[in-house]
Amino acid sequence: MKTAARVAFTAGAALAVTLATGIPANVALAQSAAPSPMSSPAVHSRLDDIVKSGTLRACATGDYKPYSYRRPDGQFEGVDVDLVASLAKSLGVKPVIVPTTWKGLMDDFTAGKCDTAVGGISVTLDRAARAYYSNVVMVDGKSPIVRCADVAKYQTLADLNKPSTRAIANPGGTNERFARQYLPNASLTIYPDNVTIFQQIADGKADVMVTDSSETLLQHKINPALCPVNPDKPLQFGEKAYLLPRGDDVFKHYVDQWLNLAQKTGEYQGVVDKWLK
């Protein structure tokens, strides 16, 4: 249809609408000229790139049992490593774990080195300003872990926040942030290795570390000389979720739906029980 004829046809259709409905012709004409939602171009998403590349890249620190741990042979294992594999399988792609550190996590993620970031990542507002979060994967607050003989000595935040307390924390994450904010009077050591840090307490070189309750339970399982302090009543509320590209609603909706199904079908709990029980 030529342009002039198309305009005449559209104007005629608008006049007909006016006679039938009372809608002014100029409004009817504007509505008829507006593109149909069905004709809008598809929104590009990281989801498309993942499927096209055949790989799902997930950043993980590899130093945070039971969520992600890098074994001496270089392979990653843990709760979130298994769940990333499940997410990748749902997309028909292969999972690839990209090593990172807590200090460099957000910079690596926003630089596009990975499609998601996992491994016991706490939900914080400063991270939320730079990325999307998935729906909550786990609710997990902060609790102390000490030598079992000292459990009665460190029951409250006031008990911990004393000059005589030798606190220890790993750098760059929410554990260090908690220690600096809530234990200003304690003697704080920032220890670089989150894998061997708990042995510092067992060896008597530090007294307490405040970390996620789930980690205190796992470390007690690994080393019975270390005991969680009231892990069912954490000192601070916390949630864990996966980092996703900011603004990518399509990818976020897919991950949230996958997570919902994994939780509802029991797959998620099966993975958690594998590593925590």
Q: Which of these, 94, 100, 46, lies nearest to 251 by C-alpha position?
A: 46
Q: By mean pLDDT, which of 27-36, 41-50, 67-76, 147-156 is the weakest?
A: 27-36
Residues 6+ apart with CB under 8 A from 7: none
More confident residue, 147 or 1: 147
pLDDT of residue 43: 85
Q: In this model, does residue 29 exceed pLDDT 60? A: no
CATH architecture of 47-137+241-276: 3-Layer(aba) Sandwich (3.40)
Residue 76's CB is within 10 A of a number of other CB atoms, namely 22
Give ranges for CATH 3.40.190.10 in the chain. Answer: 47-137+241-276, 140-237
H helix intervals, 186-226: 197-202, 213-222
Tens of pLDDT, residues 219-268: 999 999 999 999 999 998 889 999 999 999 999 999 999 999 999 999 99
| Residue 232 CA: distances (Å) to CA of 123, 147, 213, 229 | 19, 18, 8, 9
What would the two tokens of residue 169 be? 């924390």
Domain 140-237 bears CATH identifier 3.40.190.10: yes
pTM over 0.75: no
Q: How far is CA 229 from the centre of its chain?
A: 25
Rounded CA-CA distance 2/20 in Å is 27
